Amino acid sequence: MEDSRALATLLRSHRPHGANAYYLQNDVGRYPKSGGWALDPFVPPVCPAGSYSLAFLPSDAHNVPLPPQVPGTAHPVIQVPEMSETALVRSKDRAVAAKEDPLLNHPDSIKNRVDFELTTFADAGIQSRMMLTELGQSFAHAQAWRQEAQQAMESMSVLLHRERERLINESSKQGSALAAAQAAKPPTPPDHFGSGLGFLSQILSLLAPGKKDGESVLDALIANDSVASAHKTALLATKAELERAKAALAEAQEQARLAEQAKLAEQARLAEQAKLAEQARAAAEARFAALEAALAALQSEKKPSIKKKPSLHRKHKLTRTSR
C-alpha cells in the first residue's frame, strides 16, 4: 500500500498540464499495450519491477502522449517497485473495468474522437501557415532594414565627401584671400624725412630762442644796429622762409604719424583675418571629424536578429495540449 502511494506521488510530480492517465515503456514493450492507467483515482501499473520511461495521456482511452512537463526534454525515467498481489489484483480489476466502458466502441464516440482529431490537425495547419507568414514578414522586414541601412551609409559617405570638398575649397579660398591681402599691403614708403630732418633742425635752430632774453639768433642779428639794412632785409626774408619750412615740417611729421597709425591698423586687421581663418579651419576640421565618427558608428551597428519561432512539431503538440 505504501509503495502504491509513493509511486502515485512520484508519477504526479511529473504530471504535465491536461494529463489524466499514464503508461510505461521500456526495451521490452509498452505497458499497457494501448490506452493507459488513470491518475485520479490512481491505478497502479501492472508490469514487472524495473526502470521505465513515463509518458502521460489526456485520458486512459488515448494513445498519443502529451509533451513532457518541461518542453524540449525527454520523458522522465522512473523506477517501478515490486507491487503486492492485492495491488496487482486491484489494478487488473480496474483495468478490466476501464476496458469494459461501452462508450469506447460506440460509433458516436468514435466519430466524435475522429472529428476532434481532424479539427486539431486543421488548427495546427492554420497555425503553421500563420507562423510561416510571420517568418516571411520578418525576413522581408530584415531585408528592408538592411537596404535602408545600406542606403543611409551610402548617403552619409556622399555627404562626407561633399563636406570634405567644401572644406578644402573654403580653406583654399581663405588662404588665397589672406595671400592677396598680404600682397596688397602697401610697401613701406621711404623715409625722406630722416635725412632732411637733421638739416631742417639745424636751420630751424636759428629760430630757436637763445640763452639771453629768449631771442633767436636771427632776431639778435636783425636787432643789431651794426648790420646793414640790406643785410637785415635778407635776414628777414630768410626768417620768413624758415617759418614756412618749420610749418611744412610739422605738417609732414603729422602725416607721417597718421601713416604709421594706418599701418598699425592694417596689420591688426590682417592679424584678425588670419585668426578668424584659423578658427574657421579648426571648426571645419571638428565638423569633419564628427561626420567621420557618425559614419563609423552607423557602419558598426549590428543587424537585427530574427527571433526563432517554435518548430512545427512542437507547435502541433502545444495545440493538441491546449485542446
Per-residue pLDDT of the chain (323 residues; tens, 9 = 90+): 577 888 888 888 989 888 999 999 998 889 998 889 998 888 889 888 889 999 999 988 888 888 888 888 888 999 888 764 445 555 555 555 445 566 777 888 888 889 999 999 999 889 888 988 888 888 888 888 888 888 888 888 888 888 888 888 888 888 888 888 777 766 666 655 555 555 555 555 555 555 444 456 666 666 666 666 777 677 777 778 878 887 888 888 888 888 888 888 888 888 888 888 888 888 888 888 888 888 888 777 755 544 455 554 454 445 555 44
Question: Reduced to 3 states, what is the DSSP secondary structure of residue 164?
Answer: helix
Cell reading at 300: 558598426
Sorted by sequence, the CB contacts under 8 Å of residue 7 that are 6+ apart come out as: 44, 45, 80, 81
Q: Please state, as a whole number, how many other Cβ atoms lie within 10 Å of the Cβ of residue 232.
A: 15
How far apart are alpha carbons 219 and 242 in whole angstroms?
Answer: 13
The pLDDT of residue 214: 46
Nearest of 55, 59, 24, 44 to residue 94 by alpha carbon: 44
In angstroms, the CA 320 to CA 323 distance is 5
pTM over 0.85: no
pLDDT at 21: 93
Distance CA 60, CA 55 (A): 12
What does 92-145 look like in DSSP terms, one character per residue?
A: HHHHHHHHT-TTTT-HHHHHHHHHHHHHHHHHHHHHHHHHHHHHHHHHHHHHHH
Q: What is the dihedral of CA 173, 179, 184, 188, to 10 degrees?
A: 160
User: d(Cα 254, Cα 55) in Å, to the nearest integer?
Assistant: 117
Residue 191's pLDDT is: 56
What is the SS3 string spanning 210-263? CCCCCCEHHHHHHHCCCCCHHHHHHHHHHHHHHHHHHHHHHHHHHHHHHHHHHH
Instruction: Give the separation between CA 274 and CA 278, rounded to whole angstroms.
Output: 6
